Amino acid sequence: MSVWQRRLLWCATVLVAASGLVYAALRYLVPPVDAFSAYNHPAQPWALDAHVLLAPVLLFALGWFWGNHVLPKLKRQVPGRPSGLPLVGLIVIMTASGYLLQVVSAASFRPVLAWIHGLSGVAYFALLLGHALLAPRETGTLSVSAAPGAGRPHFGSTQPTQRAARR
């Protein structure tokens, strides 16, 4: 996977997580400024808007990773880090609950969805961080995906230092 893929994934993940945490803090932790306001804080709708508008960028990055990282490893049955498949499950739960929060109007079901979405989002961020920290550091000239016999290398399989050396 390329450096740009990693950057996009991490930037989108951090921005979506930050906007979600800010929204949750403003919604659940800040006392209402006005007793007649629909919001606890004037910035609350802005935080929610940022979260909802940034989420498709994260979904795009996750889809790109699915094609270049997850699917090839599943097809080749590469033994990987034990955090990979649970991460995929959390992504599905986080995405489905986030979508349902926008369309479900039943007042009794929304708090359950909000808790599922919030907890799965925090767990996704923590597990992604752990997954990245457990990644083997590539010291050779080629990554695992471009090793001999590993199939056709995909975009971004060559290290940036190699590309700079070829120029």
- Is residue 130 one of the residues assigned to a domain? yes
Q: Which contacts of 119-122 are long-range, i.e. CB under 8 A and separated by 24 or more positions?
A: 120/90, 120/93, 120/94, 121/16, 121/17, 121/20, 121/94
* 7 vs 139: which has the higher pLDDT: 7
Residues 56 and 14 in one domain: yes
pLDDT of residue 137: 67
Residues 10 and 39 in one domain: yes
Calculate mean pLDDT across residues 104-120: 94
Total domain count, the chain: 2
Residues 17 and 47 in one domain: yes
Torsion of CA 93, 96, 99, 105, to 10 degrees: -100
Q: What average pLDDT does the chain have?
A: 82
* 19 vs 146: which has the higher pLDDT: 19
Q: Is residue 82 exposed (0-12), middle (13-18) or buried (19+ Cβ within 10 Å)?
A: exposed
- Is residue 87 one of the residues assigned to a domain? yes
Give the rounded percent of residues in the chain with a pLDDT score beyond 70. Answer: 80
Domain of residue 23: give its range. Answer: 1-61
Residues 45 and 89 in one domain: no
pLDDT of residue 73: 77
Q: Are 156 and 68 in contact (CB under 8 A)?
A: yes
- Is residue 142 one of the residues assigned to a domain? no
- Is residue 14 one of the residues assigned to a domain? yes
C-alpha 82/C-alpha 85 separation (Å) is 7
Would you call 124 helix, strand, or coil by DSSP? helix
Residues 1 and 48 in one domain: yes
pLDDT higher than threshold 90 for residue 66: no
Q: Which of 30, 61, 92 is the last residue of a domain?
A: 61
**Where do we find the tokens 């800040």?**
30
Residues 30 and 2 in one domain: yes
- Is residue 154 one of the residues assigned to a domain? no
Would you call 139 helix, strand, or coil by DSSP? coil
Beta bridge partners of 142: 158
pLDDT of residue 84: 79
Calculate mean pLDDT across residues 127-149: 63
In the chain, what are the helix, strand and coil shares in percent, each to the nearest 5?
A: 70, 0, 30
pLDDT of residue 165: 52
Per-range mean pLDDT, top range of 63-72, 76-85, 146-155: 63-72
Calculate mean pLDDT across residues 136-163: 47
Q: Are 141 and 162 in contact (CB under 8 A)?
A: yes
Residues 8 and 51 in one domain: yes
- Is residue 55 one of the residues assigned to a domain? yes
- Is residue 68 one of the residues assigned to a domain? no
Tell me: the pLDDT tens digits for 10-50?
999 999 999 999 999 999 999 988 888 888 888 999 999 99
Q: Are 40 and 25 in contact (CB under 8 A)?
A: no
Beta bridge partners of 158: 142
pLDDT of residue 145: 44
- Is residue 121 one of the residues assigned to a domain? yes
Continuous H helices in 134-167: 160-166
